Amino acid sequence: VGEEEHHETIDLQPTQSGENLRRSTRNVRQPNRFVSYETFTPSHRARINVIHSHFEPSTFNEASKYIEWKNAMLEELDALRKAQTWEIQDLPIGKKTIGCKWVCKVKTKSDGSLERYKARLVAKGYTQEYGIDYEETFAPVARMTTVRTLIALASVKNWNIYQMDVKNAFLNGDLMEEVYMEVPPGLSVPQRKVLRLKKALYGLKQAPKAWFDRFNSVIFYYGFHSCLTDTALFVKYTTAGIIILLLYVDDMIITGSDKEGIRECKKLLQETFEMKDLGFLTYFLGIE
């Protein structure tokens, strides 16, 4: 009370200075969130429509209400049984279990249309303790610069580029550590039993490394060697030319000048791992 009030005023009148105002030379464009849906490619629009029009449950209880997701979970459990992923045991004294959960995702084709409903059982690896149920975790992943360079090289050389996908790739990795997991929803086992994991289930900290080590040993046996600058890029020289294979987790690109050698390579890989031959490369890691 008694203090003078201070009022601010704003003067919007043109400046009386004779100096010319400096204007920005930057290109003005609207924020990405305002970009028109119509600017997307047809396949990208189709992919967005598929994702938004199909419900992706976040829990087992939600997923079990829909026949397509129930079938997807049954398919996953069947694959885990065939891979002999675990043994049903009593939990040893002094040992702890890690949890698990179902992750449901809608998979799309390269043109954006619906491919399938994918349910994956994932271990809660964030509860693992270093030195107890995991040791090393590092696994190489191909760099995007390597992916682009390989595609560009194949284009210049006029080589065919093939794409393959390894089904349940991590389950090919053997688990060296002693890891126990809770029984997942949807799997019936005797009471008070737990699952001792034998394979590198998705979600485990060491799963990527176990899978890469397994693939590395197989591809070396077939005569490939890894590049020094990117250890996820493998090369094999033959009397007919060269075969180049790039691995990105469970997706791979195969190209080169030796067409017969590539066919033989794909055959050998399919005999070793359960794989899906996707034919010529059209869509890879979000790149058409």
CB 235 within 8 A of CB 262: no
Say what the pLDDT of residue 31 is: 65
- Residue burial 171-201, b: 16+ Cβ < 10 Å; e: rest: bbbebebebbbebbebeeeeeeebbbbebbb
d(CA 120, CA 85): 13
Say what the pLDDT of residue 267 is: 95
At a CB cut-off of 8 Å and minimum separation 6, what does 170 contact? 199, 200, 201, 202, 204, 207, 208, 210, 211, 250
Say what the pLDDT of residue 4 is: 47
Say what the pLDDT of residue 286 is: 56
| 237: Cα separation from own chain's centroid | 29
Interval 4-27 mean pLDDT? 51
Confidence of residue 12 (pLDDT cuts 50, 70, 90): very low
Residues paired with residue 226 on neighbouring β-strands, in sequence order: 234
User: pLDDT by residue (tens digit) across 171-209?
Assistant: 999 888 899 999 999 898 998 899 999 999 999 988 999
Say what the pLDDT of residue 15 is: 44
User: pLDDT by residue (tens digit) across 127-170?
Assistant: 777 765 566 666 778 888 998 899 999 999 999 999 999 988 99
List the single range of 124-133, 214-223, 262-271 with lowest mean pLDDT: 124-133
CB 201 within 8 A of CB 173: no
Q: How many C-beta atoms surround the C-beta of residue 93 within 10 A?
A: 5
Say what the pLDDT of residue 13 is: 42
List the single range of 42-46, 213-217, 218-222 with lowest mean pLDDT: 42-46
Length of the chain: 288
Tell me the whole-structure pTM to 2 decimals. 0.71
Q: Quote helix, strand, coil % in the chain, to nearest 5.
A: 30, 25, 45
Say what the pLDDT of residue 235 is: 97
Say what the pLDDT of residue 7 is: 43
2 or 45: whose pLDDT is higher?
Answer: 45
Domain boundaries, the chain: 38-280
Say what the pLDDT of residue 45 is: 59
The DSSP code sequence of 76-122 is: HHHHHHHTT-EEEEPPPTT--EE-EEEEEEEEE-TTS-EEEEEEEEE
